C-alpha cells in the first residue's frame, strides 16, 4: 500500500514529454534550444509582474495568466508560428497552453517544470533594466542549521499563487496540531528562497520533506487524498 501511494503522488506531479495535437512539453535543455529560433514576442512568461521582474528567460514577454494581460498579449501573436510558454513550476503554463490551443494556435511548447527546472539545470535568467537582483533567501547551509537538533519536522515548500499548496496547507496544519507539539512544521516559499529551491532541485510544488533527528526520512511530491496522506505521515514520523 505504501509503495502504491508513493507512485500515485509522484505520477500525479509529472508532465508528459510527448506532443499532443500541437502541444509539446519540453525539458529545459530542449526548451532552450528551441527558443533560439523563436519569433520576437512569441515567448510568454505567464507569471505575475513581480515574479517576472525578479528574473525571466531572455526574450520572454510578460503575459500574466491571472490577469487580462494574457488575453491582450496573445491576441497580437501569430497563431501559425510556435509560441513558447512557461511559469514557475508548470501549473500555470499548462493552463495557458490549453487556452492557447482553444484559441487556435498550431504549435505550443511548454517548459516542463518551469523556472524551477530551468534553474536546476543551471540555465540563466535575465532581469529587467533598473530592477534590483532578488534576494536569494535561505541557503542550503542556513536550512541545515534550522533543521539540526530537531526531532520531528515537516518542511512544506509552497508559493502564494499555488492552488494545490493552498489545498494541502489546512490538512497539513490540522495534522501537525493533532500531534500536540511533537512535530514542527516549517513553511518555505520557493519564490522567496530560490537558492534553496535550486539546491534541492525542486521542480514541482507542493513538495514536502520529512525529517527525523535532523535527517531526511521521506518526501512527498504533489497533493493526494487527505486520509491517505495523513496515514502516510503517521507511518513516516510517528
162 is catalytic: yes
Nearest-angstrom CA–CA distance, 79 and 231: 48
Catalytic choice (57, 77, 116, 162): 162
Nine cell digits for residue 98:
490549453
Distance of CA 231 to the CA centre of its chain: 25
* Cis amide prior to 206 (ω within 30 degrees): yes
Q: What CA–CA distance (Å, rounded) separates 83 from 60?
A: 11
Round to whole Å and give the CA distance between 10 and 202.
13
Q: Which helix (H) or strand (E) holds 71?
A: helix 69-74
Q: Which of 165, 172, 208, 221 is catalytic?
A: 165
Q: CA 69, CA 78: separation in Å to the nearest integer?
A: 17
User: Residue 4: which H helix or E strand, with range?
Assistant: helix 2-13
Place of cell 490540522: 174
Catalytic residues: 162, 165
Amino acid at each position: 500500500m505504501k509503495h502504491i501511494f508513493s507512485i500515485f503522488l509522484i505520477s500525479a506531479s509529472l508532465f508528459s514529454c510527448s506532443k499532443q495535437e500541437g502541444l509539446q512539453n519540453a525539458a529545459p535543455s530542449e526548451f532552450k534550444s528551441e527558443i533560439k529560433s523563436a519569433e520576437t514576442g512569441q515567448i510568454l512568461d505567464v507569471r505575475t509582474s513581480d515574479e517576472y521582474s525578479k528574473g525571466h528567460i531572455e526574450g520572454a514577454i510578460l503575459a500574466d495568466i491571472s490577469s487580462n494581460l494574457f488575453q491582450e498579449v496573445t491576441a497580437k501573436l501569430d497563431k501559425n508560428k510556435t509560441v513558447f510558454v512557461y511559469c514557475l513550476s508548470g501549473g500555470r503554463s499548462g493552463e495557458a497552453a490549453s487556452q492557447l490551443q482553444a484559441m487556435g494556435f498550431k504549435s505550443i511548447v511548454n517548459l516542463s517544470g518551469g523556472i524551477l527546472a530551468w534553474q536546476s539545470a543551471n540555465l540563466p535568467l535575465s532581469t529587467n533594466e533598473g530592477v534590483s537582483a532578488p534576494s536569494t533567501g535561505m541557503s542550503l547551509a542556513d536550512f541545515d542549521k534550522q533543521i539540526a537538533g530537531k526531532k520531528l519536522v515537516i518542511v512544506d515548500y509552497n508559493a502564494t499563487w499555488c492552488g494545490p499548496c493552498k489545498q494541502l496547507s489546512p490538512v497539513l496544519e490540522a495534522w501537525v496540531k493533532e500531534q500536540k507539539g511533537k512535530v514542527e512544521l516549517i513553511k518555505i516559499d520557493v519564490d522567496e528562497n530560490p537558492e534553496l529551491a535550486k539546491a534541492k532541485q525542486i521542480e514541482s510544488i507542493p513538495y514536502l520533506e520529512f525529517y527525523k533527528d535532523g535527517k531526511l526520512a521521506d518526501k512527498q511530491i504533489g497533493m493526494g487524498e487527505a486520509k491517505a496522506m495523513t496515514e502516510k505521515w503517521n507511518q513516516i514520523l510517528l
